[in-house]
């Protein structure tokens, strides 16, 4: 078969190069396997007394005849055992075909999973086990099972040496299998691994492929991913955004809070449960820093776009309400108190009461925490309620 014809052949009909290697090993093992038993071999020649050194002659023709006889005998035995060798090769080829057939139909063995990576790994394992079983049967047919022990011993030493030489590759391969079993992320999830952030594209035997937010392809070794601190932004469909606003210290915090929360709640895509919230970050001579929060469903809204629209609306609402940002120049008061010593009239912009203000415990993520606690992989016991 020409190379072009072989390349055009269907994948199911191609023969793996490993099969050719195994057939070659069988042919190499054939001479030792078909050697005549000691009981059938020709009787050993009786020891001949050495002739005196002066009368010794080198019989070159006799030596060539002995070599010729040995080659002829081995050739005759090889031809006589060719049917066994042919049968052994057929067994290996059938095992290879059977392994490929079974590996492509894992549902027969109930080994199919929803993970493409594990499915590929199981296919290779099933195919390899069936092929090795065929090779062992062929070697047993040739009476060359002793070769198996020699090969296993050599493979053990070679595997130990390769294990030290390719430690990182083996570590990445095992980490890839463990990541496929644990599945801390799925294709398309937005994750942060140490300082790397992007969307999960693929997981191979050696590395995981991330596509960063600027469109670059980032490959991280599986061992690094398995041992790194991983933050999955997509595991919870609901995600919170936040931003800060700095207003002048003379402005009403309550008024600014009411306006901003109302504007955030009116944005399309912002969830009503959990509802938008706020907090005071800092109050000082440089102004009052307010932080506002809102929640979205990542499956329907984009975090960055929703956050940008919230900042735009709050900024416009503050401008229309006359809420100013901190002044960048010093404000000097030139007026003095009245002659009677009474302080100048001031307008209090903050309500003097806290009635109706929500100071309860934040329960925004309690539902998500409960879902994680009820998972089968949780090793922590619930905290006992305190009296």
Q: What is the pLDDT of residue 382?
A: 57
Mean pLDDT of 324-328: 80
| Alpha carbon distance 230, 210 (integer Å) | 13
Task: Output 30 or 176, whichever has higher pLDDT.
Answer: 176
Structure confidence at residue 378 as a pLDDT band (50, 70, 90):
low
Backbone angles phi, psi at 337, to 5 degrees: -70, 155
Tell me the per-residue pLDDT of 209-258, one tens digit each, with 9 for 90 and over.
Answer: 889 888 888 999 999 999 999 999 888 889 999 999 999 888 899 999 99
CATH annotation of 238-321: 3.30.70.100
Is CATH 2.60.40.10 correct for 173-232?
no
Q: What is the pLDDT of residue 215?
A: 84
Q: Where are the domains of the chain?
A: 16-36+66-158, 173-232, 238-321
Backbone torsion region of residue 121, taken as left when φ is above 0, otherwise alpha when ψ lies between -120 and 50, otherwise beta: alpha
Q: Are 111 and 105 in contact (CB under 8 A)?
A: no
Structure confidence at residue 46 as a pLDDT band (50, 70, 90):
very low
Q: What is the pLDDT of residue 341?
A: 54
Task: Output 95 or 164, whichever has higher pLDDT.
Answer: 95
> How many residues would you count in the chain?
387
Lowest-pLDDT choice from 41-55, 208-222, 275-289, 294-308: 41-55
- Dihedral sign for Cα atoms in the order 144, 150, 154, 157: positive
Q: What is the pLDDT of residue 265?
A: 93
Structure confidence at residue 133 as a pLDDT band (50, 70, 90):
confident
Which pairs count as long-range contacts for 282-286, CB under 8 Å and 24+ apart, including other chains?
283/249, 284/249, 285/249, 286/246, 286/249, 286/326
Tell me the per-residue pLDDT of 347-362, one tens digit each, with 9 for 90 and over.
Answer: 556 665 656 666 666 6
Q: What is the pLDDT of residue 11?
A: 42
Q: What is the pLDDT of residue 13?
A: 46
Query: What order do you get walking across the sheet with 230-232 strand by strand?
Result: 217-221, 207-211, 196-203, 190-193, 230-232
């Amino acid at each position: 078969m020409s190379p072009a014809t072989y390349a055009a052949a269907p994948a199911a009909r191609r023969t793996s190069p490993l099969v050719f290697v195994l057939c070659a090993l069988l042919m190499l093992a054939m001479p030792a396997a078909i050697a005549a038993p000691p009981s059938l071999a020709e009787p050993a020649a009786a020891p001949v007394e050495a002739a005196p050194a002066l009368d010794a002659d080198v019989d070159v023709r006799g030596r060539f005849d002995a070599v010729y006889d040995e080659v002829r005998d081995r050739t005759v035995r090889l031809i006589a055992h060719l049917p066994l060798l042919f049968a052994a090769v057929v067994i290996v080829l059938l095992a290879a075909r059977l392994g490929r057939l079974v590996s492509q139909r894992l549902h027969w063995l109930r080994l199919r999973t929803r993970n493409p990576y594990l499915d590929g790994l199981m296919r290779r394992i099933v195919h390899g086990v069936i092929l090795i079983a065929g090779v062992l049967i062929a070697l047993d047919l040739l009476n060359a099972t002793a070769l198996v022990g020699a090969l296993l011993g050599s493979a053990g030493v070679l595997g130990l040496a390769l294990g030290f030489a390719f430690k990182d590759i083996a570590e990445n391969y095992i980490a890839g299998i463990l990541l496929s079993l644990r599945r801390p992320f799925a294709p398309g999830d937005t994750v942060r691994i140490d300082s790397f952030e992007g969307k999960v594209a693929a997981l191979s035997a050696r590395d995981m492929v991330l596509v960063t937010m600027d469109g670059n392809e980032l490959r991280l070794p599986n061992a690094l991913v398995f041992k790194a601190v991983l933050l999955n932004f997509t595991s919870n469909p609901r995600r919170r955004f936040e931003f800060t606003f700095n207003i002048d210290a003379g402005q009403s915090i309550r008024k600014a809070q009411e306006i901003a929360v109302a504007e955030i709640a009116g944005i399309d895509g912002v969830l009503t449960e959990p509802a938008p919230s706020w907090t005071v970050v800092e109050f000082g001579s440089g102004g009052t820093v307010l932080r506002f929060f809102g929640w979205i469903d990542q499956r329907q809204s984009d975090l960055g776009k929703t956050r940008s629209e919230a900042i735009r609306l709050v900024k416009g609402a503050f401008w229309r309400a006359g809420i100013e940002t901190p002044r960048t120049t010093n404000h000097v008061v030139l007026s003095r108190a009245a002659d009677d010593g009474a302080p100048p009239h001031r307008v209090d912009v903050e309500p003097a009461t806290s009635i109706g203000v929500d100071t309860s415990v934040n329960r925004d993520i309690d539902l998500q925490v409960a879902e994680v606690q009820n998972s089968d992989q949780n090793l922590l016991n619930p905290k006992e309620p305190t009296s």
